[in-house]
Amino acid sequence: MEVAYIIETLIKIVVILLVFSALAGLGTYFERKILAFMQRRLGPMHVGPYGLLQVAADGIKLFTKEDIVPTNAVGPIFKIAPVITAATAFMAAAAIPFLPQFTLPFTDYVVHPIVADVNIGILYVLGVMAVGFYGPLLGSLASSNKFALISAARAASVFISYEVITGLSLLAPLMMVGSFSLIDFNNYQAGGIGDWIIWSQPVAFLLFWIAAFAETGRTPFHLVANDHEIIDGFGTEYSGMRWGLFFIGEYANMFFISFVIVLLFLGGFGDGSVLGAFAFLGKMAFFFFFFLWTRAAWPDIRPDQLMWLCWKVLMPIALINVVITGFVMMF
Amino acid sequence: MSLEEFENRNVSEGAYYKVDIADYPETGWDKAKQVFSRAIKGELFVGLGVVMREMLKFDIHTVKYPLEKLPIGPRYRAVHEMQRLWESGTERCIGCGLCEKICISDCIRMDTKIDENSRKQVTEYTINLGRCIFCGYCAEVCPELAIVHGGRYENTSEQRAHYTNYEDMLTPFDMALKGQVPEYPGFGAVTPHEDERVKSTPLAY
């Protein structure tokens, strides 16, 4: 392996880590601001201009707080659980192209803004994101707290429910594209808006979107850490930096799943022009915004309702969708 | 309201009606139909539309409290003020002791003496704001409009003694001399249009 390739990959990893750690922090700021505006409040206003430095204040607070491991908690698992959430969120980013490839200015060095274009890209991303659910699951089981225990049970039930939908809904687009690589998905839709998979697979798009809410634990399916039912669920016993790691993982996940939805169904970065790159980021921003929007508008549903919805409603629809796609492709 | 209506203690008669709520769906098929009808009717998007409309209108109701304050009613009963006469600037309090007598939480204490003009002079006047329940009896009973309730509702302190400070409650003397003491409209003063509201007291009930 070339030294240049290794160096380039390392730089890309560092850039992605830094950018998305910062974005995860800023994501909390956006969430608080947008929720506040939708509820006719102002949100954070005091730290920095328009409260922009609130993120820094929160960061300093989280990083300097005492790290508490409760008495009856299973220490090693309790300590490793937040790391699982944050690490898997960032590991999933390895197979996501964040921008079209571009040439470095003043050189002819071509940069591919993807850490590893593996040919099982989407499988890898979904797999690693699924592993991320071990963070809340192990953390809540290890923290010897009743609310965390309920959260663990919910995590397991949510997990087995939405994973079926993500897999089955993706099957139909995968049959059309014939590749797992997100770059191939993007190139399949590079011809313009008419080529987007959302037009040929609207049902799959909706199902995947719904499952993304369960995957990231956002509001209609905000069951694992439902503040008004089970305190903070898996986060009840966590404090300081470990809780912050859970948070970073959660918000990074929201960004990455937004990227993935756009890449899979909405044409990604298109033909790779500068306009396409900006459109890519814009579409991603819409999906991130939608996560916050629903939180202001919609109520949460019960875990049994989520399971009912996933298994009895969405899964049959996904299966029918796959069958119909198969028939259309055959004839 | 007639007397019969007034004396009817059975308030549920006629006043309440049952909200029309459909029965919960029993079978799985009914539940599925309910989910689909709710999803297709677009109730979810009505919710989204409402919050988006509020965000775009940007009709923010936040009051940044320490920097901004909401106006309070003129007859709000907060910390007492001791008034002065408009022109001479002397204290209005004549030391009659009615406020001390009527105070139901026993938080007013005053000492008086006869001064060289053989007028009654107040030598010490304290209100223990830690005990005061802000009922307003003192301001009601005061014949001279000397003690009234002001609008200062922020009274945090580290010292209990600060809650009794007479000087804080007294209108500043120089303000009175400059004629800057406005006519007091708040609690303790006579309300506007009082003449029209006065009713003759029945002699027998």
* Mutation to test the B interface, candidates A31, A34, A35, A39, most B Cβ within 10 Å: A39
More confident residue, B35 or A143: A143
Three-state secondary structure call for residue A53: coil
Phi, psi (degrees; rounded to nearest 5) at B148 = -135, 170
Give B80-190's CATH code, choosing from 3.40.1640.10, 3.30.70.3270, 3.40.50.300, 3.30.9.10: 3.30.70.3270
CB-based contact, A320 to chain B, within 8 Å: no
Measured CA to CA, the distance from residue A27 to residue A50 in angstroms comes to 15
Handedness of CA A166, A168, A173, A175 (dihedral sign): positive
Whether B60 sits inside 8 A of A309 (CB atoms) is no
CB-based contact, B59 to chain A, within 8 Å: yes
Give the global pTM.
Answer: 0.78
- Choose the closest CB to B55 out of A37, A42, A298: A37
CB-based contact, A313 to chain B, within 8 Å: yes
- Nearest residue on chain B to A46, alpha-carbon basis: B64
Contact list in A for residue B52 (CB cut-off 8 A) is 38, 293
Mean pLDDT of chain A: 86
Residue range B51-60, pLDDT digits in tens: 999 899 888 8
Look at residue B205 and tell me whether its pLDDT is greater than 70: no
Distance from CA of B39 to the nearest CA of A (A): 12
Whether A293 sits inside 8 A of B58 (CB atoms) is no
Whether B64 sits inside 8 A of A297 (CB atoms) is no
Ranges of beta strands (E only) in chain A are 102-103, 110-111
Share of chain A above pLDDT 70, in %: 100
**Alpha helix stretches (DSSP H) within B94-172:** 98-102, 137-141, 166-169
Look at residue A69 and tell me whether its pLDDT is greater than 80: yes
Look at residue A323 and tell me whether its pLDDT is greater than 90: yes
Whether A40 sits inside 8 A of B50 (CB atoms) is no
Q: Please, are residues B79 and B150 in contact by the beta-carbon 8 Å criterion? A: yes
**Alpha helix stretches (DSSP H) within chain B:** 3-7, 28-41, 43-57, 98-102, 137-141, 166-169, 173-177, 194-197
Whether B64 sits inside 8 A of A42 (CB atoms) is yes
- Nearest residue on chain B to A43, alpha-carbon basis: B62
Distance from CA of B75 to the nearest CA of A (A): 29
Whether B55 sits inside 8 A of A34 (CB atoms) is yes
Share of chain A above pLDDT 90, in %: 9
Residue range A209-226, pLDDT digits in tens: 988 888 888 888 888 888
How confident is residue A167, by pLDDT bands cut at 50, 70 and 90? confident
CB-based contact, A61 to chain B, within 8 Å: no
Query: CA A263 from chain center: how many Å?
Result: 13
Distance from CA of A42 to the nearest CA of B (A): 6
Look at residue A140 and tell me whether its pLDDT is greater than 80: yes
- Choose the closest CB to A42 out of B51, B52, B62: B62
Whether A298 sits inside 8 A of B44 (CB atoms) is yes
**Would you state the pLDDT for residue B152?**
82
**Would you state the pLDDT for residue B162?**
74
Distance from CA of B154 to the nearest CA of A (A): 21
Measured CA to CA, the distance from residue A263 to residue A185 in angstroms comes to 7
How confident is residue A318, by pLDDT bands cut at 50, 70 and 90? very high
Q: Which of A78-92, A111-125, B67-81, B120-134 has the lowest mean pLDDT?
A: A111-125
Measured CA to CA, the distance from residue A272 to residue A99 in angstroms comes to 8
Q: Please, are residues A263 and A8 in contact by the beta-carbon 8 Å criterion? A: no
Residue range B113-169, pLDDT digits in tens: 988 888 888 888 888 888 889 898 998 898 888 888 888 888 787 877 777 777 777
- Nearest residue on chain B to A36, alpha-carbon basis: B55
Span A274-281, average pLDDT: 84
Handedness of CA B151, B152, B154, B158 (dihedral sign): negative
Residue range B4-48, pLDDT digits in tens: 777 777 766 666 778 888 888 888 888 888 877 877 777 788 888
**Would you state the pLDDT for residue A1?**
63
- Choose the closest CB to B62 out of A41, A296, A312: A41
Whether B35 sits inside 8 A of A309 (CB atoms) is yes
How many helices, marked H, and strands, marked E, lie in chain A?
Answer: 14, 2
ipTM above threshold 0.85: no
Look at residue B94 and tell me whether its pLDDT is greater than 70: yes
- Choose the closest CB to B47 out of A41, A42, A298: A298
How confident is residue A324, by pLDDT bands cut at 50, 70 and 90? very high
**Would you state the pLDDT for residue B1?**
67
- The burial class, CB within 10 Å (0-12 / 13-18 / 19+), for B156 is exposed
Residue A54, CB half-sphere, CA atoms under 13 Å: how many? Answer: 16
How confident is residue A319, by pLDDT bands cut at 50, 70 and 90? very high
CB-based contact, B28 to chain A, within 8 Å: yes
Contact list in B for residue A312 (CB cut-off 8 A) is 28, 32
- Nearest residue on chain B to A312, alpha-carbon basis: B32
Measured CA to CA, the distance from residue A88 to residue A79 in angstroms comes to 15
Q: Which amino acid is at A128?
A: V
Measured CA to CA, the distance from residue B5 to residue B13 in angstroms comes to 11
Per domain, the residue ranges of chain B are 18-61, 80-190
Q: Please, are residues B191 and B139 in contact by the beta-carbon 8 Å criterion? A: no
- Nearest residue on chain A to B55, alpha-carbon basis: A38
